Structure 1
Amino acid sequence: MASAFIPNPPSTPPAAAQLSLPQNVEAEAAMLGAMMIDNRLADDVIDLLEPEHFYEPVHGRVFAAIKSLRKTDMLATPVTLRPMFEADEGMRALGGPSYMALLTGSGAGLIGARQFAKQIYDLAMLRTLVSVGRTLVDRALDTSEEVNPRKQIEEAEEELFKVAADGGAENTVKSFGDAAKAAVKMAERALNAGGNLSGITTGLDSVNAKMGGMHHSDLMILAGRPGMGKTALATNIAFNAAQRWMRDMADGIPPDRSVGTKVAFFSLEMSADQLATRILSEQSRISSERLRMGKINNAEMSRLVQASMELQHLPLFIDDTAGLTIGALHTRMRRLQRRHNYEIGLVVVDYLQLLQGSGRSSNDNRVQEISEISRGLKTMAKDLNVSVMALSQLSRAVEQREDKRPQLSDLRESGSIEQDADIVMFVYREDYYIAMHEPERPVANSTADVQDKHAKWSQAYQEKAGLSELIIAKQRHGATGKVTLAFEAEFTRFSDAALQGFNP
């Protein structure tokens, strides 16, 4: 078929490589000819391919030129394309710009242009798989550098995922009817949950009422200064969502109607056993400090064992690997999803600044690396259809202000974090700062001034003790504002303030 309109064989790799790499140059030529004959065909297939999907480089450049002209609504014909290839060396080797006119000499591609496009794409994927496989073999055989098989496997998985994700745009296009059905299903789920909750529960009624729960494909940022309890709050939320899933499954509620979910917790700062200690402390009502030091009695030990037995099947999976890259995080999360039947709906990352970039941007500056990480987290939320909660540090600028409530501008190395996030929340505890400024404690012979100062401080502290603010500074799906929560520091436990007798 190709010999009728291809005067000279296109430049190709050596014979050995040609035999090993899947390709169909004739299909490429036929499709390009059809696109130039009928630009409506070009508009139909132009978004299905990229220039790099073509085996013959000249064909890739012709496709790119057609795509460029059609984007500006100009005709793409051998005549309009000719000036763009006058100086193209590869085209010259094929006989010059007149080669494009020869491509249109056969109407082979006019029927079934989309089938040609699909074959070109599939063959490009196969060539990419060959490349990934060869790279994997070369790295595995090369022992001149540090041998790290696990890292090589993760990098190979990441490359394979890119191959699988490439060209998926057509599959993600939904009709309004499909989108409307999803919206109605979400509203029905909120109704069945008793209102205020269309997403995954946080386990905190006041927070659910403000946010409607945590939604798939959302990136949530939970930030705060050290000591505010952001890890404690994230752990509480992760536990609440996992526990609700476990209860719903025991009650026979279908997975798609549960407001709980399986949870993946990536802890880059704390170890898995430290996180488990926090959860067991909260559930057994034993101080986490006493648990760590072993200062518990037999009755408390029995409560601890009972809590441990009740939670042994909790669908909360902890990865405490330090120094993860954003790519490795994405790879591990996809692996977890496959292993757990794609039922993980919430991913917690503690914390964002401990992740590493790909290595390219990190060589430039930290701000660019953080931008890559925040974009990667948002991409992961959408690709895997999960809700991602990433903890973040705040800059020290907070400490310089009289009112130490955080603001969006306080996000450390921020710009892109604020931009990529769907929700930004800050944890703020005023009692923490009041406690730091306790005046001189009065003794038997203290002056009235010393006693008065301490009495005023004590009153101010008692008014705020045990209270925490969750400030919702950004929310794409709803209003901003704040929610008052109770915080029991002894058990690292957050709860609804009203349930603890506070009047927020």
Structure 2
Amino acid sequence: MEKQKRQRNSKIIEKTVIVPEIGKLPPQAPELEEAVLGALMLEKDAYSVVSDILKPESFYNPVHKVIFGAIQSLAIQQKPVDVLTVVEELKRRGELQAAGGAVYIAELSEKVASAAHIEYHSRIIAQKYLARELIAFSSEVTQQAFDETIDVDDLMQETEGRLFEISQRNVKKDVIQINPVIKEAMKIIQLAANRKDGMSGIPTGFHQLDKMTMGWQNSDLIIIAARPAMGKTAFVLSMAKNIAINFQQPVGIFSLEMSNVQLVNRLIVNVCQIKGESIKSGRLTQDEWDRLDIKIKELYDAPIYIDDTPSLSVFELRTKARRLVREHDVKLLIIDYLQLMNASGMNFGSREQEVSMISRSLKGLAKELNIPIIALSQLNRGVETRQGNEGKRPQLADLRESGAIEQDADLVCFIHRPEYYRITEDDNGNSLIGMAEIIVAKHRNGPTGIATMRFDNEYARFENLDEHNTSRKQPNYIERTSKMNSRSVSKGGDSLPEMTSTNFMTENGKEELPF
């Protein structure tokens, strides 16, 4: 008897083991789809609640896709949406049978009492749709990964691009009532008021520039552009050193042009004031060795994070930038430089369209992370064909490859060194040797103008004028900018008058920026 019982239990266990596993169903919510469609035909304003959440492909049931497409079409034409109008629209489109017939559509409206929960139900449907998209996407990637004829690096770039597209299509940010925004604005104003320097953003350490910008502001995209060899990298490295070492704010640098060792060598030259050729050759004098030993300590433990990935895609940048902010609390990102980036995995008709997409993505990333992003950019050759110091000053039209850069940027700054063009004196005979201008040509939330500083070519560093001991006669800032008074620059889409020389003068005649 006991033996028979054991045999029966064994058979039960055996049957349990050999039962095949039931296949997984795609994420779906058919009951909620029915409820949402019924609610849309029940209340006239219901579509406005779900219009930015759902689209026809959000529905798993093909019949429901057709019905929602008809409802969407009626709403766009500002026609009433109910059972009768939906049926008529489906007849007109020849899709009534594909939608299950008039009886099925009528039954949908009977399954709900009101549209009270339509938004909540719609968001669940949208989440199910996103899950299905990711499953289909990952399955396709898996198949391609098994295909040995496909280059893995190309597949990774394409995968990243398509995943970025999926995420962008489904990113929605809810509206917010103004009160909490006012509180945040007041908090920022209070913090600025409590600071002795009056900075509301991240100070660069360059006094004249900081007076104009009040520091680099969170969520701003800042473009710093110049012709080759004008000192773009030297400028941002001098600035990064000031921010990270003097103000102890973590900085992330994406160097697409130089390796991380080359970039650090430039920082060593900047901080230790040792010639670049001496660093490269290792032939340092005893005095230089002593200076290196002392000054290099400033760079140790500095919150500077360098990524030298070549040909960085905008999608890789997003991933790396989020990690830097999350893990190292980075407050500022620098990209050297924009034209070396790409948007792999996406198709564009021209390089201009690709650069436009990159600049839009950088602005979006700055808003998302709520930090300033500085991107270096090249200028076209138009500057070289113009004559004189005034002619050599860059203009917004000189930005290379895309007008979208100017459009997307909150600030556009140009670096101009007259000495580079062998212009050694201004019209009044003042020396321009070693002088540099940072021209703020576009400032969406503030004034434009010119900040002057000194460029030390020997050590590839930018300095404030009052920090450089020299017996040379300094060029007068007012005299050198007075010729720009009649020009205008773009600000937020409007043309505003350039800052005039009188804006910079106090009653006693001293030079001073007005804020």
Whether these two folds match at TM > 0.5 is: yes
Task: Calculate the aligned-residue CA RMSD, in Å.
Answer: 2.8
Runs of 4+ displaced beyond 6 Å: none
> Aligned in 2, Cα 1:426/1:43: closer, same or farther, shift over 3 Å?
same
Q: SS in structure 2 opposite 1:20?
A: coil
1:264 to 229, 252, 273: 252
TM-score w.r.t. length of structure 2: 0.79
| Structure 1 residues not aligned, in runs of 5+ | 1-15, 247-260, 439-455
> Aligned in 2, Cα 1:360/1:376: closer, same or farther, shift over 3 Å?
same
Structure 2 equivalent of residue 448 of structure 1: none
How far apart in 2 are the matches of 1:78 and 1:17? 38
How far apart in 1 are the matches of 2:141 and 2:265? 40
- Answering whether residue 183 of structure 2 is matched by residue 197 of structure 1, we say no
Structure 1 equivalent of residue 334 of structure 2: 348
Q: Is the 8 A contact 2:192 2:200 kept in 1?
A: yes
How far apart in 2 are the matches of 1:232 and 1:128? 45
More divergent stretch after superposition (182-191 vs 155-164): 155-164
More divergent stretch after superposition (275-284 vs 16-25): 16-25
Matches within 5 A, 1:433-452: 433-434=421-422
- Answering whether residue 121 of structure 2 is matched by residue 116 of structure 1, we say yes
Q: Is the 8 A contact 2:66 2:99 kept in 1?
A: no
Give a deviation string over 1:294-352, Cα, whole Å, max 9, x none. 23123322332333333222221111111122222222222333332xx2221111111
2:270 to 266, 275, 282: 282
- Answering whether residue 438 of structure 2 is matched by residue 470 of structure 1, we say yes
1:381 to 352, 366, 370: 366
More divergent stretch after superposition (70-79 vs 159-168): 159-168
The residue type paired with residue 172 of structure 2 is A
Q: C-alpha displacement at 1:139, in angstroms?
A: 3.4
Give a deviation string over 1:63-109, Cα, whole Å, max 9, x none. 35434544565422233334432265664234345543332122166
How far apart in 2 are the matches of 1:47 and 1:19? 30
How far apart in 1 are the matches of 2:32 and 2:357? 38
Give a deviation string over 1:218-255, Cα, whole Å, max 9, x none. 11111111121111111222222222453xxxxxxxxx
Q: Is the 8 A contact 1:30 1:108 kept in 2?
A: no
Structure 2 equivalent of residue 169 of structure 1: 172
How far apart in 2 are the matches of 1:17 and 1:55? 20
- Answering whether residue 52 of structure 2 is matched by residue 47 of structure 1, we say yes
Q: C-alpha displacement at 1:110, in angstroms?
A: 3.5
Q: Is the 8 A contact 2:256 2:310 kept in 1?
A: yes
Q: Is the 8 A contact 1:228 1:427 kept in 2?
A: yes
How far apart in 2 are the matches of 1:79 and 1:488? 78
Q: C-alpha displacement at 1:474, in angstroms?
A: 0.5
More divergent stretch after superposition (397-406 vs 94-103): 94-103
Structure 2 equivalent of residue 328 of structure 1: 316
> Aligned in 2, Cα 1:182/1:289: closer, same or farther, shift over 3 Å?
farther
2:282 to 284, 294, 301: 294
Q: C-alpha displacement at 1:167, in angstroms?
A: 4.3
- Answering whether residue 404 of structure 2 is matched by residue 416 of structure 1, we say yes
> Aligned in 2, Cα 1:380/1:404: closer, same or farther, shift over 3 Å?
same
The residue type paired with residue 128 of structure 1 is E
Q: C-alpha displacement at 1:488, in angstroms?
A: 0.7
| Structure 2 residues not aligned, in runs of 5+ | 1-20, 478-515
Q: Is the 8 A contact 2:87 2:96 kept in 1?
A: no
Q: Is the 8 A contact 2:313 2:341 kept in 1?
A: yes
How far apart in 2 are the matches of 1:80 and 1:471? 61
- Answering whether residue 36 of structure 2 is matched by residue 31 of structure 1, we say yes
Q: Is the 8 A contact 1:25 1:56 kept in 2?
A: yes
- Answering whether residue 71 of structure 2 is matched by residue 66 of structure 1, we say yes
Structure 2 equivalent of residue 22 of structure 1: 27
Q: Is the 8 A contact 2:224 2:376 kept in 1?
A: yes
> Aligned in 2, Cα 1:389/1:115: closer, same or farther, shift over 3 Å?
same
Q: Answer with 1 or 2: which has the greater Rg.
A: 2
The residue type paired with residue 118 of structure 1 is R
> Aligned in 2, Cα 1:269/1:170: closer, same or farther, shift over 3 Å?
closer
2:185 to 178, 183, 186: 183
How far apart in 2 are the matches of 1:365 and 1:159? 19
Percent identical:
37
> Aligned in 2, Cα 1:360/1:165: closer, same or farther, shift over 3 Å?
closer
The residue type paired with residue 51 of structure 2 is I
> Aligned in 2, Cα 1:111/1:499: closer, same or farther, shift over 3 Å?
same
How far apart in 2 are the matches of 1:357 and 1:83? 45
TM-score w.r.t. length of structure 1: 0.81
